[in-house]
Chains A and B, each alone.
Chain A
Amino acid sequence: MIYARAVAGTRFVFDGLADLMAKASPLRSGDVLAGLAATSAQQNIAARMVLADTPLSTFLSEALVPYERDEVTRLILDTHDAAAFAPVAGLTVGGFRDWLLSEAATPAVLARLAPGLTPEMAAAVSKIMRNQDLILAASKCQLTTRFRNTIGLPGTMAVRLQPNHPTDDPAGITASMLDGLMYGCGDAVIGINPASDNLSILGDLMRLMDDLIQRFEIPTQSCVLTHVTSAIELVERGAPVDLVFQSIAGTQAANASFGVTLSLLQEGLDAGRSLKRGTIGDNVMYFETGQGSALSAGAHHGVDQQTLEARAYGVARAFEPLLVNSVVGFIGPEYLYDGKQIIRAGLEDHFCGKLLGAPLGVDVCYTNHAEADQDDMDTLLTLLATAGVTFIMGVPGADDVMLNYQSTSFHDALYVRELLGKTRAPEFEAWLARLRITGPDGRLAPASAGHPLLTARA
């Protein structure tokens, strides 16, 4: 189908819905790389105008990635809940934006709507929303998940403690874990990106974290961020697997480049749940996503990267994850070139994920070959915190010495708590108070060398 509009004396023509979506996207290097981006500022806005007049229901009849060739499309359309969709079924994309920002769109209403929305609908409306719209609408989406604590309650923001070490050295990882815990971080998960993919080392890392969690009765969960097949193998070998991790993307072919299929993810979910290690819930999956991953794998089907990212959340929500995060600035400047593009994408990802019913955190981050710095990260972190981001990363000093990029630090999390009064998962908050890591006001208490966590032999 052809979409067209005359704007200010010029007729703009868009070659189908995918082209319209791509041309309507705020500028980013990845869409330019793919040859999909608008070629003028006016074409960009004309596309948004046409998109705003497009009925939401169009996305149910016109697949951007072919149904026959893509199991993600089949998942999205086959599991679409028409009854949940009914309240907005008659709206255009533009009308949907107005509705999202209205008083009618309460947290309860939005939660019921989520299974009725497809990722493409979420992506479409995000393209005509300004940053403040993305923040406000996302702040109304609430979703709680549970394993050993409760993630996502209103007014909370959790932190993944990320104690990576360049050679997976247990002493080095333990040092960073203690640092993070003493800074009050680690309620989302203690999650290691291993340098190795060696199964016996991965098992050792799981036991290292599990020992600490058990010994100090920390109400949190651990995860080694390795391939789902490794986690399944480790479950079979009797390793203490709390969360099963996998990087996922928005097309079948991009997932294939990660070595996964939907049925393999289901196997991972079943393996994780079989251990019954969650004490208050069985959300056992942890997914990471990022704009540009499909293009990077040559698997984008001519669809813009932000729409494909929303489809990754469509994959994620099917497996009832505890945590999902976009690694927004990690994929590289060929997809998000600078601080402005990273900030915009971080807000889009968070909004789309939350709207679709995924417990979205964001790895607020950048690499050293991107045109970005700490000031940009401060901006994005502050915006996401006001938008109610489920969790962020906690990396010592914001410098990940294994993955070689900059994320958010334990101090950054404290800054958000100080500024906005965000609290931790309640079970973890109570544990910190019990161990006198925090004082009565929730702030860090002065630390003493004799603290039980620190009576480790150096």
Chain B
Amino acid sequence: MNRPPSNVPPDPWSALRAHTPARIALGRSGASLPTQEVLAFALAHAQARDAVHTSFEAQAVGEAIASLGLETLQVASAAPDRATYLRRPDLGRRLLETSRDALKLQTRGPADLVIVVADGLSSTAVHTHAAPLIAALLPQVHQQGWCLGPVVIARQARVALGDEVGEIFGARLVLLLVGERPGLSSPDSLGAYLTFAPRVGLTDEARNCVSNIRTEGLSYEQAAFKLVWLAREALRLGESGVALKDESDTAQLAPPRPALSPQP
């Protein structure tokens, strides 16, 4: 963004901004933020607030995933609307009764992996990244020879809802993709949670998380690689979560990282 002229002197390290999306080298008016930074921050907050309340286009997401040759199912959590969803996370973790009954009619032989796509706190993230991430996952899932269940699209849903879906399908693993809480600089970040032997009542210690999947963050290919590595290890160990440490980078040559090393 072009900045209007200001009487606040720039910090001499503003070139470091190239290395991070963080708000560094903002300059100062005395001890305080310069006016333009105060207003830029307020605008970003307004954008993030609006992102939380963008409605979920579940049908469009379902169609994009179906076009990858996958069967999709639409479900809803027990939270009827956004206002309830924000105050009652317990409802967002459980399926609406009619959705539960509908899923039970769809079960067939046990699946190795069931993918759930949940709107979470950023529909924008799911609209943008869910289908491309699944597309990046598919070749590796096929390569492993895993049996993939239908992809379940869940409205007003939180992470633990995946446990109930996975349990209904008798899945060995559930992978839940969810819109992460929007940040000021990242209203569209997708998270992925992997749980072995999913069942109602599990807590976060039983899951592995790969977060910040978005254009400026973890790429679809990197995320897919990590998730398949974690899935393979979870199946091998017979558990996921705290006991399963992500050491996927030892399985491939890490991309070179630019080093910035200050000299005394």
Contacts and interface: CB of A to CB of B under 8 A. Distances in A.
Interface of A: 29, 32-33, 163-167, 169-176, 178-179, 182, 195-201, 211-212, 215-216, 227, 229-230, 233, 256-259, 296-298, 332-334, 337, 367-369, 373-374, 395-406, 409, 411, 414-415, 417-418, 443-444, 447-449, 451-458
Contact of B186 (A258, A404, A458): A404
Interface in B21-42: 21-26, 28, 30-33, 37, 41-42
A201 B249 contact: yes
B3 interface: no
Contacts of A233: 245
11 contacts: A179-B22, A216-B264, A256-B205, A397-B33, A404-B183, A406-B45, A411-B33, A452-B262, A452-B263, A452-B264, A458-B16
A457 B41 contact: no
Given A198-B247, A447-B12, A175 B260 contact: yes
Interface in B210-251: 211-212, 216-218, 241-242, 245-250
A195 B180 CA distance: 13
Contact of B12 (A199, A258, A409, A449): A449
Interface stretch (B86-94, B106-114, B141-149): B86-94
A18 B26 CA distance: 48
Contacts of A417: 31
A405 B23 contact: no
B20 A456 contact: no
Interface string B68-112: 000000000000000000111110000000000000000000000
Provide the main secondary structure of the chain B interface.
Answer: loop
A165 B23 CA distance: 11
Given A178-B13, A397-B41, A414-B32, A163 B260 contact: no
A397 B26 contact: yes
Contacts, number: 226
B247 A167 contact: no
Given A201-B249, A455-B263, A169 B22 contact: no
A166 B212 contact: yes
A369 B45 contact: no
Nearest to A255: B205
Given A215-B262, A296-B89, A404-B189, A175 B183 contact: no
A456 B13 CA distance: 10
A175 B45 contact: no
Contact of A167 (B218, B249, B250, B262): B218
Given A165-B20, A182-B13, A369 B121 contact: yes
Contacts of B51: 368
A171 B260 contact: yes
Given A396-B24, A404-B186, A259 B260 contact: no
B20 A172 contact: yes
A274 to B, nearest CB: 21
Ranked 10 nearest A-B pairs via Cβ: A397-B23, A404-B183, A172-B20, A414-B31, A259-B242, A449-B12, A171-B260, A179-B24, A456-B262, A175-B16
A398 B41 contact: yes
B242 A333 contact: no
B26 A411 contact: yes
B261 A457 contact: yes
A399 B89 contact: no
Contacts of A402: 212
Contacts of B23: 396-399, 409
Nearest to B246: A198
Given A166-B212, A175-B19, A448-B12, A399 B184 contact: yes
Given A257-B203, A404-B180, A454 B264 contact: no
